[in-house]
Structure 1
């Protein structure tokens, strides 16, 4: 027996009792013959987009560390700015890959494979007014939606059937409505609710009520029939088994919890966040973030969505809650060595346990054409504020950016890319403060990301200045704005 096939969305499903339907990763050997070639080609062209935003800004030395002194292996002049690139270092010291105070991780996590898929980008500015923002690192502003919503609403990105909303966490995404630009509503405020919404199940049992069946159990009979079909190849059987196992593990984690030492009625991350002491336990922030990642990867694998964005969260990854963390640490990283160390440790934990964790989990999922979700994806992060001077001044220059994935070979990876204009801002806040630097525009990067996802400039306003297609701050030269439609040096494969 074959899976149910929807010719509009080109998706396959397992069906269980009571009409339960479970979306599947593509199983090419079981496609209708007349749809096989076209469906496989369409699946190979699919791209996956994920972005995480970090609170506030950092110092250049904190984030980029040894990369600031890395000898350039290539230089050029772009838009009148002398820019540089070099391969990322790969040395392992005491079991860790260390690029900076923040960009370091266990060599078991930041493997040679992950390093080869990684880029670190310096010298990208948000060319708008300085200050805290929601959506700036994703190209959103008062007149334009953030790029996650551009993708979610694009028939180019979702060419086969209904558009699929992005998974949105926290205040980071901007949508365009008839009344103007508004903050996009969160998809769900907990991992349990996200799982329920995406997979149409109930994971939180009511007291005294019979336990809900695990979603995978509801379709296991159909799965067995699918695997026994003579047309089901060994590769498709393996992919189906791996997917069902992953989904069982995800649902099991949702039901069992992130940390048995954390007393709570359920594993709902919202309940965990509300537990006394949570904000003093950074490792529990990391475990909760990984629970979210599990569900995102399951949704990507099933084809339920291909866009995920996560804004600055109540998880500070540090020893204090959100507002105290902002005032006591983020504003004191230049003045107090202990605050700098604490802030670096927190952002490092977020890098390794959230962004790198998501990239590794995506790289573990093989798709029908033999590539992984990460091969087809672009998982990147950006800070809310910059690193080009003192972050306490809330500026948006030199936003720290890290990425994993090549978006199906669109991006060249394994690079340190430095687009700073080393002749900009010949002053600093004080004689002992870091120098200020400016760079190229985030508009140029956002336009490039949209093209990597399969869109053309006509799909995002023409793209003369990148995305948004707006010539903003006068502190950037005409040459920099004129380069907005071009690819950034060395980043295009």
Structure 2
């Protein structure tokens, strides 16, 4: 059963006529003075989390580049090993900001502001099995623990004064606890248009009953009916008018992109062609740029949902496409397992770069354009992070749990220090390969524990100071007692 999105959250205060209730941002100037101060204070405590999973693992050098051998500006001992940090050494090539052959993007997108909010982390290991770990990047453990997104969705301390809202879940990355078992979470929708309808047009289903078709009306026209009522109120300040105008512009752009990509009529009828149909169209797997466009359409709708207070968590990991020229299964055999061939490795790296620039950075940039009731942007109070299904390195097998590449953008309301290259590899310890050489390091659970605390989750909802997240010590011999003892603390240099 799909979760029901409760539209009566604090930020969706405007009740429309005719039984319609559509989402618009909180506009503080329309609230009583005491309520305005309370709303602004509550808005400042809000946190937002986005996570994008990349399937398989990549070699260290294409991903980290010069960061692998950079001269550290700080060193310390942590968890029984020596670790290092340095500022991110960006260079410029043509119109691109560059850290490595994968971590590069247009300077107009990876702006100085977003570069300053970026961290690149190496040397974090999964504590549990290798293989295809669908929930591993979010801390999920089959039959043991749900993924981080589901913890946030159910934690009262994450929402505080707001009504709890489910995470927006896409594909195989999320595990939920249901009836005492940990099972794969059902995705919120299988296309951008269906998610759009569900979040903004009230088409959720319950108890297996099919949802009714959405009204034959343009979304923005219906929202504008209510926005016009707000704008006619003389107490609506210039700032709130600007904020509402920006929100309507964003929704207009979302709908225009959906219609342009799907070739649907202006009344936005359903059923209609959408990203799912685009995925199934001839030539889709030979057109990675179109795959990126699909991700950006999803991003548009998620950001609109965040701005309207419908949800604060989005996790995704496309499985029908890979940002390369092949579908997942062909990609797995020909590319993920073929990276010993430099040509194949370059093709794999190009696909990962497309996801980084076209999906992750696109999301961060869009979140940074939306101001909330306290004047901060969604990104100011958020964290956008990536994680790999498997570790980075080389032989043997490209299926291992060592050195999961992590890039994060945002400081989660000032919780994280940013602009850093953080290297937690144990360069004097565990090693499996000489071509290329790679190592193990600290526990990935420690990073996720910091994310839990950054999102404001209290120990009453989850004690991330035990062993990080999921808070359960794995039975393995890869990581020492000292590493597990450190797993519930903050990683060096990362806490502001």
For this structure pair, what is the TM-score category when the shorter chain's length is used for normalisation? over 0.9
Whether contact under 8 Å (1:385, 1:395) holds in the other structure is yes
User: What do the CA deviations read for 1:404-455 (whole angstroms, capped 9, x no partner)?
Assistant: 0000000011111100010122442xx5x22231111111111110000001
Shift of 1:115: 0.4
Paired with 2:333 and 2:351, the residues of 1 have a C-alpha distance of 15
Partner in structure 2 of residue 191 of structure 1: 192
Determine whether 1:371 maps to 2:376.
yes
Alignment of 1:87-486 (within 5 A): 87-142=87-142, 143-200=144-201, 212-257=216-261, 266-334=272-340, 336-390=341-395, 392-428=397-433, 431=434, 433-461=435-463, 463-472=465-474, 473-486=476-489
Alignment of 1:42-57 (within 5 A): 42-57=42-57
Shift of 1:370: 1.7
Whether contact under 8 Å (1:169, 1:186) holds in the other structure is yes
Shift of 1:462: 5.6
The 1:455–1:220 alpha-carbon spacing in structure 2 relative to 1, beyond 3 Å, is: same
Paired with 1:259 and 1:75, the residues of 2 have a C-alpha distance of 55
The 1:8–1:298 alpha-carbon spacing in structure 2 relative to 1, beyond 3 Å, is: closer
Shift of 1:280: 0.6
Q: Secondary structure of the equivalent of 1:288?
A: helix
Total equivalences in the alignment: 474
Determine whether 1:489 maps to 2:492.
yes
Paired with 1:114 and 1:267, the residues of 2 have a C-alpha distance of 34
Alignment of 1:72-91 (within 5 A): 72-91=72-91
Whether contact under 8 Å (2:47, 2:382) holds in the other structure is yes
Whether contact under 8 Å (1:386, 1:396) holds in the other structure is yes
The 1:211–1:20 alpha-carbon spacing in structure 2 relative to 1, beyond 3 Å, is: closer
User: What do the CA deviations read for 1:299-357 (whole angstroms, capped 9, x no partner)?
Assistant: 000000000000242121111111111100010112x1110010010000010000000
Whether contact under 8 Å (1:257, 1:266) holds in the other structure is no
Deviates more, 1:113-122 or 1:97-106: 97-106
Tell me the TM-score normalised to structure 1 length: 0.92
Deviates more, 1:294-303 or 1:108-117: 108-117
Give unmatched runs, 5+ long, in structure 1.
1-5, 203-208
Whether contact under 8 Å (1:56, 1:391) holds in the other structure is no
Whether contact under 8 Å (2:125, 2:444) holds in the other structure is yes
The 1:478–1:458 alpha-carbon spacing in structure 2 relative to 1, beyond 3 Å, is: farther
Deviates more, 1:211-220 or 1:308-317: 211-220
Paired with 2:416 and 2:373, the residues of 1 have a C-alpha distance of 21
Paired with 1:210 and 1:394, the residues of 2 have a C-alpha distance of 44
The 1:239–1:456 alpha-carbon spacing in structure 2 relative to 1, beyond 3 Å, is: same
Whether contact under 8 Å (1:49, 1:379) holds in the other structure is yes
The 1:16–1:457 alpha-carbon spacing in structure 2 relative to 1, beyond 3 Å, is: closer
Whether contact under 8 Å (2:201, 2:214) holds in the other structure is no
Paired with 1:162 and 1:45, the residues of 2 have a C-alpha distance of 14
Shift of 1:57: 0.3
Q: Secondary structure of the equivalent of 1:474?
A: coil
The 1:277–1:82 alpha-carbon spacing in structure 2 relative to 1, beyond 3 Å, is: same
Paired with 1:370 and 1:113, the residues of 2 have a C-alpha distance of 17
Q: Secondary structure of the equivalent of 1:192?
A: helix
Paired with 1:10 and 1:236, the residues of 2 have a C-alpha distance of 16
The 1:370–1:161 alpha-carbon spacing in structure 2 relative to 1, beyond 3 Å, is: closer
Paired with 1:412 and 1:259, the residues of 2 have a C-alpha distance of 44
Shift of 1:266: 4.3
User: What do the CA deviations read for 1:186-206 (whole angstroms, capped 9, x no partner)?
Assistant: 00000000001100168xxxx
Paired with 2:342 and 2:394, the residues of 1 have a C-alpha distance of 17
Shift of 1:42: 0.8
Q: Secondary structure of the equivalent of 2:258?
A: helix
Partner in structure 1 of residue 208 of structure 2: none
